């Protein structure tokens, strides 16, 4: 018991909170827990998941010899299932290069052994099939903890929870169906919103079992090309879910959730931090076809992104120039950032770096920085962000020469 407590103490505060919340769900025995991981944030996720004893499958399909897209995409982990560990039947072929006939005989023996095991009540088919352990909460909780240790503090996991009947295959097909969504054509509004523009046709191939799903999706896309475009939706990123989920209508939320009842995710501090829960509305009919974002959705997502960016600027000022925020609470500091950001936009600045520099120069000079005619003139035309960056570099060099830095 003490070893378990010591091991749990090694988890971060967020991971401990996750473990407590998800363990309560596992103890109920009437709901299944799945995790979707962002493979792009791991060096070798498949090896790590196998070593941790976690059942997993990719949500992207490999196209051609290059597996990078599949490996770096989202992965579904079934926390109620025990991985298959087949035992070798008697008479296993021992020759270095078995013939086709020997391989066929071995396959038949394995198949018969699996069928006999299932007929005898072994749901794992002698270890060939994953075993359902939803009624063994201790095992489920052990896998949850192993996964949390693997993820650590990466923004790389979203947990999906459904009732006992939610099979891996059902959720897998649903998640495959939201790998891509339809968004308005305004590309600038998409930048940084958690969707990327757009996946080319050859980027992912689909298994034969997905043919009907793909045909329906293709028909849906063809009927809406004049109103939007298909993009990749990074639903394994908790920061993306935090941006998108609150912006959706109840009908869109039902389409996003599909057969799941709840999602749990922990965005970064700029997005509010801590564990968030999204729930599927009841008595709401899902949006038909592929999940589609409207201009209103994109506007709401953009507003949340700007708020997160201001939070990051507040944190940066607290580290590098805390005197400029002295006496301000969080709300006042955010209003301070918003005021100077609007000024910067009026002078043509567009980048986070530009907003930070403008806010620093204007607040440190009590607004006198822009009063100089040569500075106002220098910001006109061309690229104001680059021009302001040049001015900051020249001022920093001059300060060094005068011994102020």
Tell me the pLDDT tens digit for each residue of 323-339.
Answer: 999 999 999 999 999 99
Q: Write down the pTM of the prediction.
A: 0.74
pLDDT tens digits, 274-321: 999 999 999 998 888 899 999 999 999 999 889 999 999 999 999 999
Measured distance CA(306)–CA(304) in Å, rounded: 5
pLDDT of residue 396: 76
User: Average pLDDT of 266-277?
Assistant: 91
The pLDDT score that the predictor gives to residue 390 is: 87
Q: Give residue-wise pLDDT tens across range 157-183.
A: 999 999 999 999 999 999 999 999 999
The tens digit of pLDDT for each residue in 26-73 reads 999 999 999 999 999 999 999 999 999 999 999 998 776 778 888 899
Burial of 66 (0-12, 13-18, 19+ CB in 10 A): exposed
User: Which pLDDT score, from 0 to 100, does residue 394 have?
Assistant: 81
Model confidence band, residue 83 (pLDDT cutoffs 50, 70, 90): confident
Asked if 181 contacts 293 with a C-beta cutoff of 8 angstroms, the reply is yes
| Strands of the 31-38 sheet, one edge to the other | 55-58, 74-78, 31-38, 157-163, 262-265, 276-279
Neighbour tally for 209: CB within 10 Å? 9
pLDDT tens-digit readout, 197-245: 444 333 322 233 343 344 444 444 444 445 688 999 999 999 999 999 9
């Amino acid at each position: 018991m003490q070893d378990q407590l010591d091991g749990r103490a090694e988890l971060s505060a967020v991971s401990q909170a996750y473990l407590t919340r998800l363990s309560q769900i596992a103890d109920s025995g009437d709901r299944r827990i799945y995790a979707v991981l962002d493979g792009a944030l791991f060096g070798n996720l498949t090896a790590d998941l196998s070593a941790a004893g976690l059942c997993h499958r990719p949500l992207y399909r490999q196209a051609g010899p290059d597996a990078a897209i599949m490996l770096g995409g989202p992965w579904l982990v079934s926390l109620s299932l025990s991985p298959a560990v087949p035992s070798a039947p008697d008479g296993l072929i021992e020759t270095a290069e078995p013939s086709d006939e020997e391989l066929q005989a071995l396959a038949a023996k394995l198949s018969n052994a699996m069928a006999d095991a299932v007929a005898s009540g072994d749901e794992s088919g002698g270890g060939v099939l994953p075993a359902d352990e939803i009624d063994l909460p201790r095992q489920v909780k052990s896998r949850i903890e192993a996964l949390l240790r693997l993820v650590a503090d990466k923004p790389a996991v979203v947990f999906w929870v459904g009732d006992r009947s939610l099979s891996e295959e059902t959720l897998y097909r649903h998640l495959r169906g939201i790998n891509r969504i339809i968004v308005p054509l305004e590309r600038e509004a998409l930048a940084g919103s958690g969707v990327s523009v757009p996946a080319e046709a050859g980027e992912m191939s689909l298994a034969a079992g997905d043919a009907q799903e793909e045909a329906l999706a293709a028909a849906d896309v063809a009927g809406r090309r004049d109103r939007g475009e298909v993009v990749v939706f990074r639903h394994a990123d908790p920061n993306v879910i935090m941006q998108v989920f609150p912006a959706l209508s109840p009908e869109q939320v039902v389409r996003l959730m599909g057969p799941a009842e709840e999602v749990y995710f922990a965005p970064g501090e700029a997005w509010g931090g801590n564990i968030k829960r999204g729930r599927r509305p009841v008595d709401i009919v899902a949006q038909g076809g592929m999940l589609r974002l409207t201009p209103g959705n994109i506007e709401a997502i953009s507003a949340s992104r700007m708020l997160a960016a201001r939070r990051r600027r507040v944190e940066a000022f607290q580290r590098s120039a805390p005197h400029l925020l002295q006496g301000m609470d969080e709300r006042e500091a955010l209003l301070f950032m918003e005021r100077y950001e609007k000024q910067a936009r009026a002078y043509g600045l567009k980048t986070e770096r530009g907003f930070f520099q403008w806010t620093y120069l204007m607040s440190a000079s009590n607004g006198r920085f822009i009063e100089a005619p040569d500075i106002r003139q220098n910001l006109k035309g061309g690229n104001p962000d680059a021009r302001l960056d040049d001015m900051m570099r020249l001022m920093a060099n001059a300060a060094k020469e005068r011994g102020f830095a």
